[in-house]
Each structure stands twice: as structure tokens, then as C-alpha cells.
Homo-oligomer: A and B are copies of this chain.
């Protein structure tokens, strides 16, 4: 096995992430991916069965790389699980920098085009989103348990809501060519989570501070 970090397959996957995030799945041409990766079509079809196979592999590669990225983020160091949840949200806000295609989500982009026509890609995207949400859900559930909360909502639905806000924020950022609008929505998400937990933590005996 040659250097996995810079193998042709890895370069093809990296190129796929870049191009699909900018243009979407359908508009992404295999030849463009090859050119960006610096390999030829023969090499591409050695590593992937076809375009759909690339998309599925790209979704898994995306899950793996972003998963490792978030696992190494500093917010995990908080003792309080709620601090970890809020730290996660702040971290998501902090990485809204640079060009739009550099902070938006591969699988959120792909699933829009493929959910009805490419079940394998849809499943791969769902697995990526759900897997990521599950990590957030764990911290939310821990924070709820710590406070003995029994709200009408579940940790799972709130975790998925965080993903919905982020995905929607990406769409607004694309429409407006502006990351700031996405950051505003993430601020609202943070505010919501604080309100949800404040309601239970303080039992409405809330100090005046404004």
C-alpha cells in the first residue's frame, strides 16, 4: 500500500469533495475530478466502479475525515456535557470562514440532487448526517440526564435540529454568497439551546442581568 495520504485514490476523493461541494453531483464531471486530482480516467475507473460509486465513497470519506476533525476539536474537553454541546455549536460557527464551498457540507449538497434517483448515495448521505448527529445527541442526552430533564422533545430530535439549522444556514450562505448570514442562524441555535436548558436548570428563578 503506497502512502495513503497522497495516493491517487485519495487525491481523487479530495478532488471529488472540492468539485461536488462547488457544483453539486450531477454537474460534476469525472474528467474534471481526474484533472484536479492529476490522474487519468483509466486510473479513476481502476479505483471506482463509476460516478455513483465515487459519490458513495466520497460520502464515506467525508464522514471519516470530518469525523476525525470534530473528534479532535477542543470543545470535547469540557466536563459539563452542556458546555460540550454549546462548544460544538460555537465551533461550527467558528469554522464558517473562507469561501462558501470551503465550509459547506458535501452530503447536504449531494442528497438534494440524489434522494429520489440514487438510493445508494442517499443512504450514504443519511449515514453521514445521522452518524454525526448521534455524537451531538450523546452530549445532549448527558446534559439532560444530569439535570433530570423530561422535556417534550428528545435528545435525538434536538441533535437533528442542530443539523437542520446548519444545513439550512449553508443554503442561505450560498444564496447570499455570505457566511455571516449562516453565523447568525448558528447564533440563534445557540440561543435556543441555552433557553431550553436554562428553563430546566434554573427552574425559572432567573437573575436579572440585562
Contact surface of A with B, Cβ cutoff 8 Å: 22-27, 82, 86, 100-101, 107-109, 111-113, 115-117, 122, 125-126, 129-130, 153, 157-158, 160-161, 163-169, 171-172, 174-177, 181-182, 184-185, 187-188, 191-192, 194-199, 201-202, 204-210
Whole-angstrom distance between the alpha carbons of A210 and B46 in the complex? 52
Beyond A22-B116, A192-B192, 8 extra complex contacts between A and B, CB < 8 Å: A23-B116, A86-B209, A108-B112, A115-B177, A163-B168, A168-B169, A171-B171, A202-B207
Contacts of A206 in B (CB 8 A): 194-195, 198, 204-207, 209
Give the oligomeric copy count.
2
Closest to A123 in B: B175
Contacts of A175 in B (CB 8 A): 107, 111, 115, 122, 125-126, 129-130
Q: Is the CB of A164 within 8 A of B168?
A: yes
A175 to B: closest C-beta gap in Å: 4
Whole-angstrom distance between the alpha carbons of A206 and B168 in the complex? 27
A204 to B: closest C-beta gap in Å: 5
Whole-angstrom distance between the alpha carbons of A65 and B169 in the complex? 24
Q: Is the CB of B188 within 8 A of A108?
A: no
Q: Is the CB of A160 within 8 A of B172?
A: yes
Known: A164-B185, A166-B168, A206-B195. A174 touches B24 (CB 8 A): no
